[in-house]
Amino acid sequence: MESVAVWQTVGLCGLLSWIGLASYINLTHKLRSLLRPWVARHVVAGAPLVLRIQRYQNSFFDALFSGLSCIVSVSFYTAFLPLLFWSGHGKLARQMTLLMAFCDYLGNSIKDVVSAPRPSCPPVRRITATKGEEENAMEYGLPSSHTLNTVCLSGYLLYYILSYAEDIHTSYQFAGFALVCLLVGLIGLGRIYLGMHSPIDVIFGLVFGLMILFFWLNVHEYVDSFITSGQNVTYFWGVLSILLLFAYPTPEFPTPSYEFHTAFDGVAFGIISGVQQTYHQFHHEAVARIFTPQLPFATFVGRMLVGLPTILTVKFCSKALAKWILPIVSNTLGMSITSTSYIPMLKSSSIGKVDASKQRGPLHKLFFFSSQDSFDVDTGIRFVQYAGLAWSVVDLVPSLFSYLNL
């Protein structure tokens, strides 16, 4: 018990020290000054290839690549992962949720460290068919998050199937690998075709994705064992989640990347705290799985009809509660606060004119520092609402299933 507490404390203190050191030496600015000029040159050099690919523009390719971008987006995984939990594949759902949060943090951190531009539009034609794509276009370019996430999540899904299914013929294994490669290739090509990324962005998304996947395949069993049977799990991950809000680079100009990281940071904390408390009730390996006599498809549909409205309600209530509590706590602590979107009465007159240089230190990240004397509470609100949503997926909703015999 004492040894576990010691390594947890050492790990958190090490991360806190790293945050302070990186802030003190202005590490982000130094790395950006080294990396961005090189990346920007390759973005410009890659523009002719993007334009050559876009010569084949037609409505079919527009719909195909826009659709593929949607089904590997953060929004899609946010909707898909709860269904995976409720289908009985708890371990796969846990791992893919944490892997998604890990990819989102690393990928967006690299984006905001480098702060490299996307292909210039015009001459490149940029297609943003959904609101999510419009938000993605506001982020920096390198690496391509869609490519990185597709490599990691589809690669891990294939690994999971091959590891836990019995007697899979070699031809099916090859077909699965080929399908993953095809999907990754189409996603990468689609990001270039849509004008969202340069070839250098896609290449680095592929490279970083393979590196992250290799790392995850070597640690995922230890991570899962810690979550399901470790000590001080909720307290440790709670502190880690807060530190990860701090341990994020300041971009040259504000982008939605930090908001995405905050949301998945909250999701990871909610999932882990819920699973750790209810693992032996709802998430052990012997639970009923979909398409078995214990969980027929009709029952699974019933779970969706009960679960989806419930988690949306919890998300709404968590957001409302955070909007009420966080300003009170901030005012009690004597903190001047503002809100860019969630609390209209706290909106600053300088919104839309935020200078990234005013986002000075990582210790401001909990409330996303947006002016010299004010804190933006939207980060705290966003973290709480997504943590509440994720907790309901693995704790509240399974309790309802048990009560309703679903």
What is the tens place of the pLDDT at every residue in 32-41? 989 999 999 9
What is the pLDDT averaged over residues 126-140? 80
Residue in 89, 146, 220, 261 annotated catalytic: 146
CA-closest candidate to residue 36, choices 138, 140, 116 = 116
Tokens of 244: 């990860």
Residue 130 has pLDDT above 80, yes or no: no
Q: Measure Cα distances from 38 to 42, 74, 114, 200 in Å.
A: 7, 29, 10, 11
pLDDT of residue 74: 67
Cis amide prior to 123 (ω within 30 degrees): yes
Q: Which of the four pLDDT bands, split at 50, 70 and 90, describes residue 181?
A: very high
Residue whose entry in the numeric block shows the structure tokens 């993953």: 180
Confirm whether 15 is domain-assigned: no
Measured CA to CA, the distance from residue 178 to residue 234 in angstroms comes to: 39
pLDDT of residue 155: 92
- Look at the alpha carbons of 8, 10, 12, 15 in this order and tell me if their dihedral is positive or negative: negative
Q: Which of the four pLDDT bands, split at 50, 70 and 90, describes residue 71?
A: confident
More confident residue, 344 or 44: 44
Residue 349 has pLDDT above 50, yes or no: no
Alpha helices in 247-345 (DSSP H): 257-278, 297-332
**Which of 168-172, 254-258, 330-334 has the highest mean predicted lDDT (pLDDT)?**
254-258
More confident residue, 123 or 78: 123
CA-closest candidate to residue 141, choices 180, 95, 196 = 196
Residue 372 has pLDDT above 70, yes or no: no
Tokens of 175: 């077909």
Question: pTM of the entire structure?
Answer: 0.84
Annotated catalytic residue 89: no
- For 40-44, 325-329, 337-341, 388-392, which range has the lowest pLDDT when averaged over its residues? 337-341
Confirm whether 19 is domain-assigned: no
Annotated catalytic residue 146: yes
Q: Which amino acid is at 42?
A: H
Residue 382 has pLDDT above 70, yes or no: yes
Q: Measure Cα distances from 137 to 1, 2, 191 in Å.
A: 47, 48, 11
Q: Which of the four pLDDT bands, split at 50, 70 and 90, describes residue 357?
A: very low
Confirm whether 17 is domain-assigned: no
Residue 348 has pLDDT above 70, yes or no: no
Give the phi and the psi of residue 383 in degrees, each rounded to 5: -60, -45
Give the phi and the psi of residue 353 in degrees, each rounded to 5: -120, 25
Confirm whether 79 is domain-assigned: yes
pLDDT of residue 343: 75
Q: What's 321's DSSP letter?
A: H
Query: Under DSSP, is residue 338 helix (H, G, I), strand (E, B) or coil?
Result: strand
pLDDT of residue 285: 83
Give how many domains the chain has, as a whole number.
1
What is the pLDDT averaged over residues 2-28? 83
Confirm whether 202 is domain-assigned: yes
Measured CA to CA, the distance from residue 389 to residue 387 in angstroms comes to: 5
Residue 280 has pLDDT above 90, yes or no: no
pLDDT of residue 366: 39
More confident residue, 346 or 391: 391
Residue in 42, 169, 197, 261 annotated catalytic: 197
pLDDT of residue 374: 62
Confirm whether 22 is domain-assigned: no
What is the pLDDT averaged over residues 387-393? 91
pLDDT of residue 178: 92
CA-closest candidate to residue 104, choices 65, 73, 135, 68 = 73
> What residues does 376 pair with on adjacent strands?
338
CA-closest candidate to residue 15, choices 244, 262, 268 = 244
pLDDT of residue 102: 92
- For 118-127, 132-141, 169-178, 355-364, which range has the lowest pLDDT when averaged over its residues? 355-364
What is the pLDDT averaged over residues 102-117? 90
Residue 340 has pLDDT above 80, yes or no: no
Measured CA to CA, the distance from residue 253 to residue 138 in angstroms comes to: 10
- Render pLDDT for 283-336 as a digit per residue (tens, 0 to 9): 888 888 888 888 888 888 998 999 889 998 998 898 888 888 888 887 787 777
State which residues form the domain around 156. Answer: 34-346+362-404
Confirm whether 7 is domain-assigned: no
Q: Cα 109–114–116 angle (5° rounding)? A: 115
Measured CA to CA, the distance from residue 385 to residue 376 in angstroms comes to: 16
